[in-house]
Structure 1
Amino acid sequence: MSLMPKTPAAAARASTEVQARGSGRLTLTRLLRDPASIASMIAILLIIVFALCAPLIAAWTGHGPTEQFRETGLTPEGIPVGPNSEFLFGTDQLGRDVLVRLAYGAQVSILVGVLASIVASVIGIAIGTIAGFSGGVVDTVLSRTMDLVMSVPFLLCAIALVSVLGPSLSLSIAVIVFFSWTGLARVIRGQVLALRHREFVEAARSLGASRTSIMFRDILPNLVVPIIVYTTLMIPAAIVFEATLSFLGLGIVPPTPSWGNMLADAANGSLYLVAWWMVVVPGGALLALTLAFNLLGDGLRDALDPAAVSKGKRA
């Protein structure tokens, strides 16, 4: 083994690699020591597996998500039957299997939540970084654009768009993205404003680095914590947005199942008074998924930035 001393550049690279590995390992250790974070990750994983297994559940039960069982799934009075050996989670007002519809509805909620949050995060990061780093007129225009978007009534805009274009999954995602990116953009803008005059940024400028290089190589790596935490917390908000749109008839088009339109079916004619499972099952799933993502976001924040948590406790 060579005993030759390392060059300064090699030593710096080795130190950086060790620090990166150590930081990631410490973050994972802190996260796994938090019971709430572990429980939330398990809950999210189970719901994702449940959604992916929707076709298998349909094949196992022999019930399609839109298939109606008016003889076995409804009482002689036309009331949905409760949970039993054939319909584990009961049926709805048309005799459809709530379990199967719940699984397919989970696919919609997870798809909309994750996809809309990722797209909104990309837009928010880009606009927030450009606004904070550029300053001046660019910052003013982009900041006023954020204020304008945040001042638009969410439901009024959704109703107007649906009345013109018609409800659809893509429209739901577009509406959620439109109203979600501004929050992260404001956070990123504030962080960039605090970082753009730091010593390492000035050093990069003095070495002739371009503005794009400084933004992507020097500033954005220092924003990983707020980006990860805020994006994680955006997912449950997007899921609730989609459920709200579907509940109001502005989202997923029936008979395609969605947790929102399943709740709307229960509210139609106060059917939930005689068929409690039509509210408890999709409502409980929606609550469990959003709560799990919120707890995971809090756990990630504490694990990635323990110094801020310690300051908060001392305060």
Structure 2
Amino acid sequence: MSDIAENDFSQGTEVVQRGSLELTLRRLRRDHASMIALGVILCIILLAIIAPWIAAITGHSPIEQFRDTGLSPSGIPVGPGADFWLGTDQLGRDVLVRLAYGARVSLLVGVFASILASMIAVVVGVTAGYFGGMVDMALSRLTDLVMSVPFLLCALALVSAFGPSLMLSVAVIVFFSWAPMARVIRGQVISLSRQDFVHASRSLGAGPLSIMVVDILPNLTVPIIVYTTMQIPNSIVFEATLSFLGMGIVPPTPSWGGMLADASSNSLYLVAWWMVFVPGTALLLTTLAFNILGDGLRDALDPKSARTARHLKRKPKGASKS
């Protein structure tokens, strides 16, 4: 009988979990804005993946300079055409090829830095919220200290000391990204630690690490997924800002921020609009798509918030005008 009961319970749990996942995907598919945003993100990812193929088809390297065919006799970049589909920059380099390779840098930095920042935020937030007391006070003051440090001033100091590099960009982005999420996680953990299932685990002799990992952490899945997704565009913008200011990716490695910096030098965007329009549009669409997808994931994973917002906006029938 016990074996049958265990099998029935495990099958019931599997059905519930599968049903919950199917409901989440169904809600997400019904959100047209999220589906469009997901399509844009997939296109950007595809662009980054096929960057070497684009270079092979066009016959242009991302750092190769075509001063004879890529620049006019007066030294002005050539506009979009048959030879250069999205035009060239001030050195005669193919903008399309550099855009594709720049997508690799932006996605790599955005995703990698966001995951690292989320991991640090979860560790700090769960530890501070569960233990409380002096541990909470120390970690909360550390979070306040990180959030009070000026971003650009710290980046300038680090670049002056160590020089610009990809790893330094990731480290700076992670350093400034984990603190806000850690505050949210801490508040969630404080609320969860007062629940009956946590008290029951303590009474059964479970240790703090077991309670944090087995009981509390699974209940933080929704905020972790949502905040990590919405942190990716922030990391991409941070990387573009650092590269634009000359503190990020080292030239001639292409990056969207570096391409915007090239367009602003000597006011080239006044005569070569594609130099700022192409990377600027890619940066705008990518960050907007990740933000919209993050909102869609939040509503799909936690539909109560969306239903509550719609209910408050909907006026009850028969309500008198005030």
Which of 186, 198, 201 in structure 2 is aligned with 1:201?
198
CA distance in 2, matches of 1:188, 1:7: 39
1:4-15 → structure 2 map (5 Å cutoff) = 7-15=4-12
Equivalent position of 1:50 in the other structure: 47
CA distance in 2, matches of 1:263, 1:92: 10
CA distance in 2, matches of 1:53, 1:28: 28
Which of 130, 152, 161 in structure 1 is aligned with 2:158?
161
Residue 268 to residue 172, structure 1, CA distance change in 2 (3 Å) = same
Supply the AA of the counterpart residue of 1:295.
I
CA distance in 2, matches of 1:108, 1:126: 27
Please list every run of 5 or more consecutive structure 1 residues that lacks an aligned counterpart in the other structure: none
Which of 298, 302, 305 in structure 2 is aligned with 1:305?
302
Which of 33, 53, 72 in structure 1 is aligned with 2:69?
72
CA distance in 2, matches of 1:294, 1:65: 29
Structure 1 length-normalised TM: 0.97
Equivalent position of 2:258 in the other structure: 261
Which of 282, 285, 288 in structure 1 is aligned with 2:282?
285
Supply the AA of the counterpart residue of 1:285.
A
Structure 2 length-normalised TM: 0.95
Which of 90, 111, 118 in structure 1 is aligned with 2:108?
111
CA distance in 2, matches of 1:268, 1:242: 19
CA distance in 2, matches of 1:75, 1:32: 49
Residue 28 of structure 1 aligns to a residue whose secondary structure is: helix
1:123 to 2:124 alignment? no
CA distance in 2, matches of 1:88, 1:50: 15
Query: Structure 1 vs Structure 2: percent identity of aligned residues?
Result: 67
Equivalent position of 2:148 in the other structure: 151
CA distance in 1, matches of 2:197, 2:8: 19
Supply the AA of the counterpart residue of 2:115.
I
Supply the AA of the counterpart residue of 1:27.
T
Name the stretch that deviates more: 170-179 or 206-215. 206-215
Which of 263, 270, 295 in structure 1 is aligned with 2:292?
295
Query: 1:8, CA displacement in angstroms?
Result: 4.5
Query: 1:7, CA displacement in angstroms?
Result: 4.8
Deviation beyond 6 Å, 4+ runs, structure 1: none
Residue correspondences, number = 312
Supply the AA of the counterpart residue of 1:255.
P
Query: 1:183, CA displacement in angstroms?
Result: 1.3
Residue by residue, what CA displacement relative to the aligned partner does 1:238-270 show, whole Å, maximum 9, x if unpaired? 000000000000000111100001000000011
Tell me how large the CA RMSD over aligned residues is.
Answer: 1.1
Supply the AA of the counterpart residue of 1:190.
G
Supply the AA of the counterpart residue of 2:202.
R
1:218 to 2:215 alignment? yes
Equivalent position of 2:239 in the other structure: 242
CA distance in 2, matches of 1:127, 1:64: 44
Equivalent position of 1:21 in the other structure: 18
Supply the AA of the counterpart residue of 1:29.
R
CA distance in 2, matches of 1:265, 1:228: 35
Which of 87, 92, 104 in structure 2 is aligned with 1:90?
87
Query: 1:44, CA displacement in angstroms?
Result: 0.7
CA distance in 2, matches of 1:113, 1:82: 30
Supply the AA of the counterpart residue of 2:223.
P
